[in-house]
Structure 1
């Protein structure tokens, strides 16, 4: 920023692949020099960067204000992501993913990963992914809950939900009983333990898309 402050757009995951990363940077550079209306969104991240929402103000009377995060997501140049936070402040970004995902544009160029495909997920260890499948098992423990997308957890994805996040999900009606057999879309950084896993700290990173066709049926 012109002030010298270091900031990132909140609730976004910057693309990890090319050409999407370069395209996302080019999109933002298109607003260079434009005044920004900036709002803080939570505390700084672990690298001391402020999390912000930024709207580029019109350059002329013919222009409209542009929400930078929304523009990136709608163009398929970033994913919505709560990151280290347990809250996705901008739930509207999830909805904006629908069109580029359907069109397989940008970061959605490939099909959403099949949560049953353990080898494919394992090959992406350390990377941010979006995966989809039907939940076949829910294991509730004292401090966490396990959502399994395959019977054998070594062969497909397991989502690990911490106690506080599970409580929020239950308040939204997502319980062990209501989740079994349901299509779910999840996102986060893959780790490999006995099999591929995602640790979820935000309930917003688990979608139960009613009425959508299962991509991994």
Structure 2
């Protein structure tokens, strides 16, 4: 079960609305996968979370550099970011076209994630994570972090992580809801969900009743409070993954 996009301001459908496709060429690859185009424009691939680890960063960049000089079909989405770049879907090559975002995700060199966008405009990218996750490739070499591994989560403080665990307790409060993955007195992940996001989750069938006891996959920035925590940025940051082959223990 993969949740749908949450509504936000600007509305998710507006941030994902594609512009007419246009042709360009890849001149170079900049920091964190920035596409430097022959036209002088710059873009970033839509729906990707670039890896933090230096070795994987280098591998992902090398994968893209292989398409330098290749013709690109770009479909831009949403407004420019603070650096004057547009999010875009990129198809490289002519004889055998390659979806750049899909190729990076399938190789385990990037996560499918909305990032700073309002929604994951290409939710199908999530399905491409299955093969590298099952094979332990790239970003998935150690598997998703366990929600009960307090030490590993603490080591990820300030960085993006994908975490898996079973929801043991759901605490609904007036301002936010807490999803606890560790027993009282043990170190483990707590996910905080702001009131507005919790309402959106309920609209997608995710509630205290449907989440408690379920195995889920969380993605977001790890922070440290009394213990490691992730504040759920939107409905796409949580997936119920009960029954996936890769998670059968």
Runs of 4+ in structure 1 off by over 4 angstroms are 213-217
Specify the alignment match of 2:147 in structure 1.
Answer: 115
Q: How far apart, in 1, do the equivalents of 2:184 and 2:106 lie?
A: 36
Residue of structure 2 aligned with 1:132, choices 158, 164, 171: 164
Q: Deviations over 1:73-110 (max 9, x none)?
A: 00111011111234111111111000000000011111
TM-score (norm 1): 0.90
Q: How many angstroms does 1:45 deviate by?
A: 3.3
Residue of structure 2 aligned with 1:11, choices 24, 47, 52: 47
Q: Does structure 1 conserve the Cα–Cα contact (< 8 Å) formed by 2:48 and 2:112?
A: yes
Q: How far apart, in 2, do the equivalents of 1:153 and 1:82 lie?
A: 34
Q: How far apart, in 2, do the equivalents of 1:93 and 1:189 lie?
A: 20
Change (3 A) 1:87 1:137: same
Greater Cα shift, 202-211 or 176-185: 202-211
Q: How far apart, in 2, do the equivalents of 1:95 and 1:175 lie?
A: 24
Pairs aligned (count): 213
Specify the alignment match of 1:39 in structure 2.
Answer: 75
Specify the alignment match of 2:209 in structure 1.
Answer: 177
Q: How far apart, in 2, do the equivalents of 1:27 and 1:214 lie?
A: 26
Change (3 A) 1:214 1:3: closer
Residue of structure 2 aligned with 1:206, choices 238, 241, 244: 238
Q: How many angstroms does 1:188 deviate by?
A: 1.1
Q: Does structure 2 conserve the Cα–Cα contact (< 8 Å) formed by 1:42 and 1:51?
A: yes
Greater Cα shift, 106-115 or 17-26: 17-26
Greater Cα shift, 41-50 or 101-110: 41-50
Cα root mean square deviation, aligned: 1.9
Q: Does structure 2 conserve the Cα–Cα contact (< 8 Å) formed by 1:82 and 1:202?
A: no
Greater Cα shift, 110-119 or 99-108: 110-119
Asked if residue 28 in structure 1 is aligned to residue 60 in structure 2, the reply is no
Gaps of 5+ in 1: none
Q: How many angstroms does 1:214 deviate by?
A: 7.4
Asked if residue 196 in structure 1 is aligned to residue 232 in structure 2, the reply is no
Specify the alignment match of 2:106 in structure 1.
Answer: 74
TM-score (norm 2): 0.79
Asked if residue 56 in structure 1 is aligned to residue 92 in structure 2, the reply is yes
